[in-house]
Amino acid sequence: MPNNNYTDDNIRTLEGVQHVRLRPGMYIGRLGNGNNPGDGIYVLLKEIVDNSIDEFAMGYGKEIRITIQMNDVTVRDFGRGIPLDSVVKAVSILNTGGKFDDKVFKKSVGLNGVGTKAVNALSENFYVCSYRDGECSWARFERGELKDSGKDSTSEKNGTLVTFTPDRMMFGEYAYNMDYVETMVKNYSYLKKGLTLNLNGTPYKSENGLLDLVNENLLSDEPLYPPIHLEGEDIEIVLSHCNAYGENISSFVNGQNTRDGGTHLAAYREAIAKTLKEFFKKNYDPVDCRQGVVGAISIQIQEPNFEGQTKTKLGSNYMWEKQFHDESGALKTDIGPTIRSYVNDFVSKNLDNYLHIHKEIVPVIEEKIKASQQEREEISGIQKKTRERNKRTNVYNRKLRDCRFHYNDKVTEKTQENIEASSIFITEGDSASGTITKARNANYQAVFSLRGKPINCYKESRKKVAENEELNLLISALGVEDDLENLRYNNIIVATDADDDGMHIRMLVLTFFMKYYPDLIRRGHVHILQTPLFRVRNKKENRYCYSPEEKEKAVSALKTGVEITRFKGLGEISSEEFVHFIGPEMRLDLVKLAEEESIADIMSFYMGDNTLERQNFIRANLRSEEELEDVNI
């Protein structure tokens, strides 16, 4: 019998920032190596910059300097600076900070007195210096432990300097992707007109706020009319339509990019449809009112409630909600307007006024709505017939092997962890789908099996796509027939063989998402599963390698008696082995759309006519099979 005695010796108290290092996911979400914009190293940077942004929002400091050299990050603002006697505790003691005092920080991003402490705890080296009226107070830490501190006189301008290096013991071998950092910095500039953010010597400054964001980043396709830009107290919106499918709306709260949306984005989407329906005095479907919408919304609220420490989704229902003690000492709650009513009232009044003044765009918008309505009704009927036919032949049950947890049914506890882990693997053929089905975790991993190659959506009409059995069943499995908010899985993972046919199937599936459901890609839901190309082993050890370079390193490390297997299909890998490739450490490539890229141009290049330009691209990037074949040992 194992010794499972539960005694006083088993009770532990984690001091200071030890808990952050033990449970980093609670504070920064995922760790990661920098390949994903949601990885922890970007959260660390954002936590420091957010403090500087909050200083600017309160009227202090018009410049923030950000420098990233290798893995060393420096952020210098010119705000008020941390009070000199509180520098050490402000960056090292959890639940300590100025954001709890609404008189000092009214509408800030940092809320819980955690952000800077998490950066400190998860950094190999962390240095902070506060400059105030000719004096400075500084401290140096290593992995959250104070190593040295002091006070000096200074000629520096008021503000705060922070330098840190994310800890390789926590993040492994990582690197900052400067494209992600640049996007973050540009978003800050759009949201804070008049603020200059200097990234590695390049200044970013916006004069027109969210209008610049939409014009420079979101309008990759030609808008049907000049974007509508409306500003009010604590709210700013931009709106236009283009000839594309889906919606492309960026959302922000107190300067924070809420890429997963939340109550403010839901309210804005509702307000757009409601206002247009009332303006035209017709009961248009909200989906048709929003089809092809490009825009943005930014709101400022007090005490925002974000879902998770990474603050990518707003959970607040009210513009402000505060507890206080009245004169008798009784605890009272004071509640402001709901975010839904606030956004609805602003959009309804101001968008309606805009449309009455700018009458030239009114027929353009209604024509777009009617075109969407006509196509949707036609396609809906075709899709319904296809799904009914499939149900009668029981095709659906054979193609989808669902998991026990998904969004819409209360099968298992709906925790944030379960939601984030829920996945569907899209694969082709009985062999590959059988392997993944046996290896998966059936609690939160589903498998959808394609039959052969899906049609090329770029070349076919929407009607032809709607008649396609495979894609109709895929839409139904994902739950996005009516609204992307009903998506049943957080991760859509394309898992195909590492050969020519597998790559072609991958491109066809991605083309389908890119053309008709681009928001799934923009929101970071679509991934490519990396599977090993080689297994290198001897009598003592197996190593799985994802590239010829990894294979050569494994051969050198295992030295003698080495056997090399080249995997050409998912079905060649046993389910016992495959468990390792779709477990907690599975390698996923996030499918990304650069904000300035045109979806139409991308699809034309990769899936259109076989041009000389594309042939040259393939020749320059293609790896021959000979390069991937086994070496004889």
pLDDT digits (tens, 9 = 90+) for 130-177: 999 999 999 999 988 889 989 999 999 999 999 999 999 888 889 998
Listed in order, the ranges of the chain carrying CATH 3.40.50.670 are: 393-531+568-597
| Longest alpha-carbon distance in the chain | 86
Q: For the segment 184-199, what is each residue's pLDDT rounded down to a tens digit?
A: 898 899 988 889 999 9
Distances (CA, A) of 280 to 214, 274, 548: 25, 10, 61
Burial (0-12, 13-18, 19+ Cβ within 10 Å), 234: middle
- Strand, coil or helix: what is 414? coil
Task: Report d(CA 428, CA 494) in Å as an integer.
Answer: 10
Task: Report d(CA 607, CA 459) in Å as an integer.
Answer: 8
Within 411-499, residue ranges assigned H as helices are 416-421, 430-439, 462-466, 469-478
pLDDT at 300 exceeding the cut of 50 = yes
Higher pLDDT, 58 or 410: 58
Torsion angle in degrees (nearest 10) through CA of 502, 504, 510, 516:
-130
Lowest mean pLDDT among 55-64, 386-395, 531-540: 386-395
Phi-psi region of 210 (alpha: psi -120 to 50; beta: other; left: phi over 0): alpha
pLDDT at 351 exceeding the cut of 90 = yes
- Number of other CB atoms surrounding residue 360 within 10 Å: 9
Task: Report d(CA 336, CA 7) in Å as an integer.
Answer: 49
Residue 62: both structure tokens together: 């018009």
Q: Which residues pair with 424 in a beta bridge?
A: 446, 492
Residue 157: both structure tokens together: 């301008």
Task: Report d(CA 466, CA 287) in Å as an integer.
Answer: 17
- Write out the DSSP string of 482-533: S-GGG-S-SEEEE---SSHHHHHHHHHHHHHHHHH-HHHHHTT-EEEE---S
Q: For the segment 61-102, what is each residue's pLDDT rounded down to a tens digit?
A: 899 999 999 899 999 999 999 888 888 888 887 755 444 344
Fold for the domain defined by 18-204: Heat Shock Protein 90 (3.30.565)
- The amino acid present at 484, given as its one-letter code, is L
Task: Report d(CA 289, CA 66) in Å as an integer.
Answer: 41
- Number of other CB atoms surrounding residue 616 within 10 Å: 10
Contact 235, 299 (CB under 8 A): yes
Q: For the segment 199-222, what is each residue's pLDDT rounded down to a tens digit?
A: 999 999 998 988 988 888 776 678
Cα atoms in the Cβ-side hemisphere of radius 13 Å centred on 305? 10
Contact 237, 347 (CB under 8 A): yes
Cα atoms in the Cβ-side hemisphere of radius 13 Å centred on 199? 16
Of 544, 444, 537, 450, nearest to 497 (Cα)? Answer: 450
Residue for token pair 């080689």? 534
- Strand, coil or helix: what is 558? helix
Task: List phi, psi (to 5°) of 588.
Answer: -125, 135
pLDDT of the residue at 113? 42
Of 115, 128, 119, nearest to 166 (Cα)? Answer: 119
Question: What's the predicted TM-score (pTM) here?
Answer: 0.70
Fold for the domain defined by 210-368: Ribosomal Protein S5; domain 2 (3.30.230)
Task: Report d(CA 466, CA 378) in Å as an integer.
Answer: 9
393-531+568-597 CATH:
3.40.50.670
Average pLDDT, the chain: 81
Lowest mean pLDDT among 20-34, 40-54, 182-196, 517-531: 20-34
Burial (0-12, 13-18, 19+ Cβ within 10 Å), 66: buried
Listed in order, the ranges of the chain carrying CATH 3.30.565.10 are: 18-204
Contact 38, 147 (CB under 8 A): no
Contact 280, 359 (CB under 8 A): no
Lowest mean pLDDT among 59-73, 406-420, 466-480: 406-420
